[in-house]
Amino acid sequence: MHYDAHTTVDDTTLQRALATFKQTLHDRGLRLSTVREAIARVALRYDGHFEVNDLMRALRAANVQDAHLATVYRTLPLLVESGLIQPTLLSSSERHFYEPAFERKHHDHLICTSCGRVVEFEFEAFEVLQRDIAERYGFELTAHFHELLGRCASCRAAASR
């Protein structure tokens, strides 16, 4: 998959995120171990959407030897609960993706059904329209996901050759 996303987290934001994570862990009677912190750092600095195996590869590349698959699986829900990452629905796949979320603005996705390219975008008119629709039908929105599926320019060009 190719991602058009810019999710770089600066050091100051990373420290705020880790403090938030530490507080969540403390509230649950857990501690911020070096392995949990390393998993949080790598997840927060991941550029784009990732699966557990992507995160494992990134942890190995960062030379985090103690991050076992079971530890990562146990840590992911804690990262979600803390608001550091969020599960991401990508209907072009049945796989489970996550993406960094700490202090990031809400965004939606364009997904190429040919090559899997994912483009993140923000469009205020969508946000206004969904709030209006929810209000009209008496709903209070708690979450939403917008995905626009199609074929990117590169795939269309390749198909026309």
Q: Please, what is the average pLDDT of the chain?
A: 87
CA distance 131 to 158: 39
Q: Which residues of 136-153 are buried (b: 16+ CB within 10 A; e: fewer)?
A: eeeeeeeeeeeeeeebbe
> Is the CB of residue 144 less than 8 Å from the CB of residue 130?
yes
Task: Please list, in sequence order, all residues whose beta carbon lies within 8 angstroms of the beta carbon of residue 39, skipping any fewer than 6 positions away.
Answer: 55, 59, 64, 67, 71, 72, 75, 79
> 75: part of which helix (H) or strand (E)?
helix 69-82
Neighbours of 54 (CB within 10 A): 17
CA-based torsion, 92, 148, 83, 6: positive or negative: positive
The amino acid sitting at 115 is C
pLDDT score of 90: 66
DSSP state of 84: S
Say yes or no to pLDDT of 4 above 60.
no
Lowest mean pLDDT among 5-14, 100-109, 147-156: 5-14
Say yes or no to pLDDT of 1 above 50.
no
The full set of domains in the chain, from first to last, is 3-160 (1.10.10.10)
pLDDT score of 3: 46
Helix (H, G, I), strand (E, B) or coil at 12: helix
pLDDT score of 91: 61
pLDDT band for position 5 (50/70/90)? low
Q: For the segment 50-102, what is each residue's pLDDT rounded down to a tens digit? A: 989 999 999 999 999 889 999 999 999 999 999 999 888 666 556 778 888 89
CA distance 84 to 76: 10
pLDDT band for position 127 (50/70/90)? confident
Lowest mean pLDDT among 47-61, 97-111, 146-160: 97-111
> Is the CB of residue 106 less than 8 Å from the CB of residue 90?
no
pLDDT band for position 140 (50/70/90)? very high
